[in-house]
Structure 1
Amino acid sequence: MPRSERSPLLLAGLLAAAGVAHFASPRKFDETIPEALPGKPRTWTYASGAAELALAAGIALPRTRKPAALAAAAFFVGVFPANVKMAVDWRHRPTPQKAAAIGRLPLQLPLVLWARSVARNGEGR
């Protein structure tokens, strides 16, 4: 299978794994929910996990790949504030944890670009 054909499936797999993690270990995600959001953090954790699972399913299916990948790009932008909150909250933690939290910030851009590439290459399939 050529790389371009695997790319959507890899992105779908990443989103599915992240979605499952939101349900399997919600507490760590609850801590990243910005306090400015209304409601309980757990609700946002489960909602974002469900969204990731839905996006994964949409990207896995060629017929819905383009809109799902564009939605995934928007999702990656939308969760960026949670990653910023995590980096701020973890600034006093041990160096490996602090580095992981800060390292997540620049990873959002490649995720957005990857999702857009999947959407662009998903046209006409």
Structure 2
Amino acid sequence: MKTTKLKDAAAMLLGAGLIFAGTGHLTFARNDFQAQVPDWVPLSKDNTVVYSGIAEIALGSSLLFTRGRKRKLAGKVAAAFFVAVFPGNVSQYLNGRDAFGLDSDNKRLARLFFQPILVYWALKSTKVI
């Protein structure tokens, strides 16, 4: 398989995952996502979850339906989004909040190491790096 086709497939898979996660923010996983919102965020936890869910759906759609330079831009924005929400993962770990089956400090700590993978995935699959 050509590298370009593999990267396109990876970008589309990431896009689909973002749409799924964004839909979860708005529906079935809303309470779990609220557990990740740090207390210092100036919006209510629910509003933060709703707005970030909308952003994820938009980013996922951009990764699915754009090509070329626009997909590169979507990859950069997705990577920035993954960096921006990382404090929520840290907050969940530091405050010992259970969500998404992360019901121990070890599981919450392990989750922190997946965020850089998402950043890399967003950048690599959209040919930014």
Task: Tell me the TM-score range normalised by the shorter chain.
Answer: 0.7 to 0.9
Which of 108, 112, 118 pairs up with 2:115? Answer: 108
Give the partner amino acid of 1:110: I
Match in the other structure for 1:21: 24
Match in the other structure for 1:5: 8
Alpha carbons of structure 1 residues 88 and 6: separation in structure 2 relative to 1, 3 Å: same
- Matched residues, percent identical? 33
Give the partner amino acid of 2:50: Y
Secondary structure of the residue aligned to 1:97 is coil
Give the partner amino acid of 1:101: R
Match in the other structure for 1:83: 89
CA deviation string 1:47-76 (max 9, x = no partner): 110000000011112333111111000000
Q: After the TM superposition, which residues 26-41 of structure 1 pair with which residues of structure 2 at under 5 Å, given as runs? A: 26-41=30-45
TM-score (norm 2): 0.83
State the alpha-carbon separation in 1 of the partners of residues 31 and 94 from structure 2. Answer: 18
- Say which structure, 1 or 2, has more relative contact order (CA 8 Å, 6+ apart): 2
Unaligned runs of 5+ in 2: none
Count of matched residue positions in the alignment of Structure 1 and Structure 2: 120
TM-score (norm 1): 0.85
Q: Structure 1 residue runs of 4+, over 4 Å off?
A: none
Give the drift of 1:91: 7.3
Give the partner amino acid of 1:111: L
Q: Does 1:72 align with 2:75?
A: no
